[in-house]
Structure 1
Amino acid sequence: MTQRAPTQPGGLAALRGKISFIDLMQSAGLMAVILLGCAVMSFLSPVFATVRNIENVLQSATIIAVVAIGQTFVILVAGIDLSVASVLVLSSVLSVGLVQFQGWPPELAILAALVAGLVIGLVNGLAVTKLKIPALIATLATMTIARGLAYIYSGGTNIAPVPRIFVDLQASRIFGVPGVIVLTLALALIAQIVLSRTQFGRSVYATGGNPLAARLAGIKTERVIIATFMISGLMAAIAGLLITARFEAGAATAAQGMELAVIAAVVIGGVSLFGGEGNMGGMLLGVLLLGLVQNAVNLLNVPPNWDSVVSGLVIAAAAALDVYRRNYLEAGMRKKVIAAKASKPAKQP
């Protein structure tokens, strides 16, 4: 018989409610920072508040956002996936190259690109769960391999022209909103529903929060971890299709260092590096904030090398905030819940 971890009615639910309030306040804080930053940039640069610039920021952010959706699943189980940018590039060159070089139908080439992302995600998941290789090392290896394969296949250059389907995707609009933005929001909504409304989503949080307790509760934690890496690979492959549409080429040389930007955006959005905490809404705010920072650097003509410095400082600040929230704020909430339960009079039989 499967052994299940004991539950305490009211205690865990109350604690989760308090932590959710912290997450809500963090999201409100992020939104306040974004609005303040927009106000400052509107004053410093007349270009910032134009429709064209805002649309450009959002379209650029969609690529990182789609990758970040998958990365969020992995980080929620206390993992990390460094291979996402390389998977994106491999997906991009395959989706165009298989049409140009092998004469495949565009739909079949796109399917092959998505399958490639899933396979690499599966390899990452198996390496972490079965071979017990740390996720950092396993995905570093697949990162190198996937980008190397992309260079070999493409000859190290971008592949063009792209099939018509990519041109139509980039040009599409739904109620006046660029189709790639709508697609990104739809993917994030689906991911949030999966996390919050399904047994798999609850298993993801449980596996990241306390793997031992999750196993005692009957959760197949290894399967959950493998599934999260496969989701990450799939999302990176989808982002590869989006970047192909944006650049109108199989982007063999794109996304250098994107994996760090993705991790930064996820952590800024309140997804804990320790696992078990975070949501898609906060992640999207993190992506938007990072996109606005990069756009501000460009509009203010900051030297390119300082762009990396600013991004690094943002990553460090996000990681420090994550540690502070986990070690102090949430610990304080736990103490309050325990104290509140201890102060309640015992029920008379």
Structure 2
Amino acid sequence: MALENTPMSGIAPNGDSKLSTWRGRISFIDLMQSVGLLAVILLGSAIMSVLSPVFATVRNIENVLQAATIIAVVAIGQTFVILVAGIDLSVASVLVLSSVLSVGLVEFQGFSPVFGVTVALGAGLGLGLINGLAVTKLRIPALIATLATMTIGRGLAYIYSGGTNIAPVPSFFVELQAARIFGIPAVIVLTLALALIAQIVLSRTAFGRSVYATGGNPLAARLAGINTERVVIIAFMISGLMAAIAGLLITARFEAGAATAAQGMELAVIAAVVIGGVSLFGGEGNMGSMLLGVLLLGLVQNAVNLLNVPPNWDSVVSGLVIAAAAALDVYRRNYLEAGMRRKVIASKSS
């Protein structure tokens, strides 16, 4: 987490060298967390290369990365929501609704592929807006509001598609899945580009600073003149848009309007975000570490498959990883950062 990414950014006086020191220490913790994640990924990859000759092949690695792109794109949007201390359970439903609309509007109603994609993205933004308004204007807890839209979104996808996948897809999707940029699958490049744009927004714009401030201390943010309700609404809209984009990617991957896909994906997305160091309490995290969390979760799931572990154990392993990441988040907030604050206060008073 860069210095400007702290919850108090844009609120605390810039001349406070002690506060700057504290921010620097927090950034160091974030850096160590990212390094730790990378070390675990490299160590796990080395072990899996020994246990399974298939793991280190180009084809397997490419499959892991392409599968991870869908989770990663959804996780980009989820990161914005969690940074404002919210949660979005509707992302998987938005994904499948986007997928069936992008194909069904072409196959069933005869519209152009461009129109289908536009409506699919608009549906994601619209459901994100509904989530944001429900949380800010109706004061419905985010967990309940997005649980409702999760049910509604998947229900609409089933109604529209008849509960089955829709095929064939427009040639645009086939070309997207097959496209490569400098030998790298285009979907991977697109995912990295979206993550880079999101990180620039968070670290280099007034809106990004408002996101961290709103999640870190909403009262202080309001006193500083930030329209926290608008920030929360936009965060949910970004989440909806990213989920809709992921719906287009999964359509390209499966070559069908995937009405039955992404069952339980919302939990995998939240797991990846938390593993990547984005605090469930809001106000802390960055896209780089989040992507490492997505990659680690993808490698764990790939390892479970390659080692022929019974499918039901996949959920158990993922659950244990989520619990460990959440425990680390609590430890970091309650002990490491609290200890640093006490040291800064003590040094200021001495």
TM-score range, shorter chain: over 0.9
Identical-residue share of aligned pairs (%): 86
The residue type paired with residue 124 of structure 1 is N
Are 2:164 and 1:157 aligned? yes
The correspondence of residues 116-265 of structure 1 with structure 2, limited to 5 A, is 116-265=123-272
Q: Do the aligned residues in 2 keep the contact of 1:15 with 1:333 (CA within 8 Å)? A: yes
Aligned residues: 340
The residue type paired with residue 269 of structure 2 is V
Q: Do the aligned residues in 1 keep the contact of 2:19 with 2:344 (CA within 8 Å)? A: no
The residue type paired with residue 257 of structure 1 is G
Displacement, 1:12?
2.9
Report what 1:347 is aligned to.
none
CA–CA distance in structure 1, aligned partners of residues 217 and 133 of structure 2: 20
Select 1:57's aligned residue among 47, 64, 68. Answer: 64
Displacement, 1:338?
1.8
Select 1:10's aligned residue among 5, 10, 17. Answer: 17
CA–CA distance in structure 1, aligned partners of residues 247 and 130 of structure 2: 19
Report what 2:42 is aligned to.
35
Are 2:86 and 1:79 aligned? yes
Displacement, 1:6?
6.2
Q: Output the TM-score relative to the length of structure 1.
A: 0.96
Q: Do the aligned residues in 2 keep the contact of 1:244 with 1:250 (CA within 8 Å)? A: yes
The residue type paired with residue 80 of structure 1 is I
Report what 1:317 is aligned to.
324
Select 1:45's aligned residue among 52, 56, 59. Answer: 52
Unmatched runs of 5 consecutive residues or more in structure 1: 344-349
What secondary structure sits across from 1:95 in the alignment?
helix
Q: Deviations 1:192-224 (Å, cap 9, x if unpaired)?
A: 000000000000000000000000000000000
Select 1:106's aligned residue among 105, 113, 131. Answer: 113
Q: Do the aligned residues in 1 keep the contact of 2:48 with 2:55 (CA within 8 Å)? A: yes
Report what 1:23 is aligned to.
30
Alignment CA distance shift 1:167-1:5 (3 Å): closer
CA–CA distance in structure 1, aligned partners of residues 18 and 258 of structure 2: 51
State the Cα RMSD in Å.
1.0
What secondary structure sits across from 1:251 in the alignment?
coil
Q: Do the aligned residues in 1 keep the contact of 2:166 with 2:258 (CA within 8 Å)? A: yes
The residue type paired with residue 301 of structure 2 is Q
